[in-house]
């Protein structure tokens, strides 16, 4: 195949949702349809001992939640799918935000019982910022939930996007019978099965066909016809181009755990979802069809295999063809690197690959060369944009409880911060290590992983900070003066960039007024032309 043909047959997307909306379950059903697994796992409970296929970290299996992005590659009907299953918990949202830089579209899962929740709104806000094509899957139709039309209104009002249903539920809760595929005009009736793909397919080319009554009964047939007439009257006709530019979100209904509506979603997805798209760099837009290889690291994970202290860099290929054992230019380090064992993923399982194409996500063994956002090219000096760190919301001081393991603690916290699990700030005047996170659960994960993976024990002491602000100025003397004057509130991040730790919103506003020549950034992706010490 040519590079253009390889690009055309690839779809790279992320599944995102509020916790417990059924994101990981839907992921597994996709893998079932693709033949990547034969039996779905289940999130660990007292009765079920198997863990979800995409949840591979020990703490995920214990807590029954996803705390890290998993990558899974499989084929379905000739399409090669790179699926990134992201954490749903708000405490790990930054990992999800970074993952969105590496995909070309998104499937957003919404619980029909709870509707649109706060985390769903935040995730959708990031998608809108990137004009990301979004498909919505309203899940758990086998439970008594909100009216489908009310859910559509809620999606439009809270997520600020036009919607267009492409499938429609027949009944709900205990009376749920299946879904009508509006896009292809056929009816799918499913038997409930949480572990295997079992389905009953009925082709109905005309919704007024008498066969509809035979399959679902007169009352449900009449209700379905009324609903479809209302949908056609109220909602715009689906426009594939508007979907690809992020202006309209097609909506599907179903039940992931029981395989209702999943096939409609997957088959429509591979037909309408965009192939790999261009990416912005600091110098130009890189198109996937370019001959020379480019790509970037969007995630780093240490100790993905507990038996081997390995460190994997997740790399998105943006253009050209990545080849095993070829040399590529690391634009930050300004040196050539060669990769002898690049791999593709099925969660924690890895397979060595000889080559990869735009849209593919591969893993590369890393001995410390990579940081999140690093770019590889065939010699061109540039870096891909759009992978910032955000100011944390919770700050705590790292306290070593075992002085004999100081080296292990320092190595562990450095590696975890490079993964993006948390942000590490070293206070200038005391050398104290401050950990910044989005939520409390991250501290539990850090503490657990430091002990299990590095043998280092620690506790955390709360500190009252409002924001961490990265500092720049067009006047280096003023920046130096500010750092000297405010030394008690200055820390350095893992990149050795100066950060102002503001104790309150009022203090931050006052400081900004007092130092107009200093710029205070709430993300670390700042203008490289400004002075950064």
Q: Does the pLDDT at position 421 exceed 60?
A: yes
Residue that is last in its domain, among 343, 377, 411: 377
Torsion of CA 251, 255, 257, 263, to 10 degrees: -60
Looking at the structure of the chain, the number of domains it has is 3
Q: Residue 223 burial by CB count (10 A; 0-12/13-18/19+): exposed, middle or buried?
A: middle
Q: How many CA within 13 A on the CB side of residue 445?
A: 26
The CATH number for 339's domain is 3.40.50.300
Short-list 232, 227, 521, CA closest to 388: 521
pLDDT digits (tens, 9 = 90+) for 10-64: 999 998 888 778 888 888 888 888 776 665 453 333 332 334 444 444 544 454 4
Residue that is last in its domain, among 272, 296, 324: 272
Average pLDDT over residues 142-148: 89
Examine residue 384 and state whether it is found in any structural domain, yes or no: no
Q: Does the pLDDT at position 227 exceed 50?
A: yes
Q: State whether 228 and 158 are in the same domain.
A: yes
- Which pLDDT score, from 0 to 100, does residue 278 have? 92
Could you list the residue range(s) of the whole structural domain that residue 234 is in? 3-272
Q: Does the pLDDT at position 73 exceed 60?
A: yes
Q: State whether 248 and 153 are in the same domain.
A: yes
For the chain, helix, strand, coil in percent to 5 are 30, 30, 40
* Contacting residues for 475 by C-beta, under 8 A, at least 6 apart: 517, 531
Return the higher-pLDDT residue of 112 and 306: 112
pLDDT digits (tens, 9 = 90+) for 93-111: 566 777 888 999 999 999 9
The CATH number for 444's domain is 3.30.70.3280
Full 3-state SS string of 359-397: CCEEEEECCCCCCCCCEEECCCCCCECCCCCECCCEEEE
Q: State whether 17 and 149 are in the same domain.
A: yes
- Which pLDDT score, from 0 to 100, does residue 39 have? 58
Task: Give residue 136's region: left, alpha or beta (phi > 0; psi -120 to 50).
Answer: beta
Q: How far is CA 108 from the centre of its chain?
A: 11
Beta bridge partners of 81: 11, 74
Residue that is last in its domain, among 210, 240, 272: 272
Q: State whether 18 and 43 are in the same domain.
A: yes
**The tokens of 184 are what?**
């292809």
Average pLDDT over residues 503-522: 94
Examine residue 531 and state whether it is found in any structural domain, yes or no: no
- Which pLDDT score, from 0 to 100, does residue 56 have? 41
Average pLDDT over residues 477-487: 93
Confidence at 344, pLDDT banded by 50, 70, 90? confident
Confidence at 466, pLDDT banded by 50, 70, 90? very high
Q: State whether 42 and 185 are in the same domain.
A: yes
* Contacting residues for 200 by C-beta, under 8 A, at least 6 apart: 188, 189, 190, 191
* Average of per-residue pLDDT values in the chain: 83
Q: State whether 34 and 128 are in the same domain.
A: yes
Average pLDDT over residues 122-145: 87
Examine residue 533 and state whether it is found in any structural domain, yes or no: no
Average pLDDT over residues 222-249: 92
Examine residue 529 and state whether it is found in any structural domain, yes or no: no
Q: State whether 320 and 181 are in the same domain.
A: no
């Amino acid at each position: 195949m040519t590079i253009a043909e390889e690009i055309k047959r690839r779809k790279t997307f992320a599944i995102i949702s509020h916790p417990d909306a059924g994101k990981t379950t839907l992921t597994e059903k996709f893998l079932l349809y693709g033949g990547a697994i034969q039996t779905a796992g289940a999130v660990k409970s007292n009765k079920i001992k198997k863990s979800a296929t995409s949840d591979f970290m020990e703490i995920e299996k214990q807590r029954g939640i996803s705390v890290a992005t998993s990558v899974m590659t499989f084929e379905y009907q000739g399409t090669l799918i790179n699926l990134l299953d992201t954490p749903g918990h708000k405490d790990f949202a930054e990992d999800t935000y970074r993952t969105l830089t590496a995909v070309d579209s998104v499937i957003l899962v919404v619980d029909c019982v709870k509707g649109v929740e706060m985390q769903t709104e935040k995730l959708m806000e990031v998608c809108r910022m990137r004009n990301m094509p979004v498909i919505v899957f309203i899940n758990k139709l086998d439970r008594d939930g909100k009216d489908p039309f009310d859910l559509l209104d809620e999606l439009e009002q809270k997520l600020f996007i036009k919607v267009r249903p492409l499938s429609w539920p027949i009944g709900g809760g205990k009376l749920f019978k299946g879904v009508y595929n509006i896009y292809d005009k056929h009816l799918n009736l499913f038997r409930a099965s949480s572990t295997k793909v079992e389905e009953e397919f009925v082709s109905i080319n005309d919704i007024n066909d008498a066969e509809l009554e035979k399959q679902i009964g007169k009352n449900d047939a009449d209700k379905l016809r009324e609903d479809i007439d209302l949908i056609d009257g109220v909602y715009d006709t689906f426009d594939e181009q508007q979907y690809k530019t992020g202006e309209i979100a097609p909506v599907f209904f179903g039940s992931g755990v029981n395989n209702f509506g999943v096939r409609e979603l997957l088959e429509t997805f591979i037909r309408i979802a965009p192939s790999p798209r261009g990416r912005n760099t600091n110098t130009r837009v890189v198109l996937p069809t370019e001959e020379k290889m480019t790509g970037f690291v969007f995630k780093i994970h240490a100790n993905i295999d507990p038996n081997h202290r390995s460190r994997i860099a997740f790399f998105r290929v943006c253009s050209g063809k990545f080849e095993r054992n070829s040399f590529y230019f690391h634009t930050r380090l300004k040196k050539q690197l060669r990769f002898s064992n690049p791999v593709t993923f099925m969660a924690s399982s890895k397979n060595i690959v000889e080559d990869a194409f735009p849209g593919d996500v591969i893993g590369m063994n890393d001995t410390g060369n990579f940081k999140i956002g690093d770019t590889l090219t065939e010699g061109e000096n540039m870096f891909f944009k759009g992978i910032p760190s955000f100011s944390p919301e919770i700050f705590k001081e790292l306290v070593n409880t075992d002085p004999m393991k100081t080296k292990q603690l320092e190595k562990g916290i450095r590696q975890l911060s490079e993964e993006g699990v948390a942000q590490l700030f070293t206070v200038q005047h005391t050398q104290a290590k401050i950990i910044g996170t989005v939520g409390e659960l991250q501290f539990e994960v850090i503490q657990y992983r430091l002990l299990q993976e590095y043998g280092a024990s620690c506790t955390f002491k709360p500190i009252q900070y409002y924001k961490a602000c990265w500092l720049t100025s067009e006047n280096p003397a003023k920046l130096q003066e500010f750092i000297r004057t405010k030394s008690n509130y200055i820390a350095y991040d893992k990149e050795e960039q100066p950060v102002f730790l503001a104790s309150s919103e009022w203090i931050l506003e006052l400081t900004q007024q007092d130092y107009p020549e200093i710029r205070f950034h709430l993300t670390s992706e700042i203008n490289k032309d400004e002075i950064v010490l």
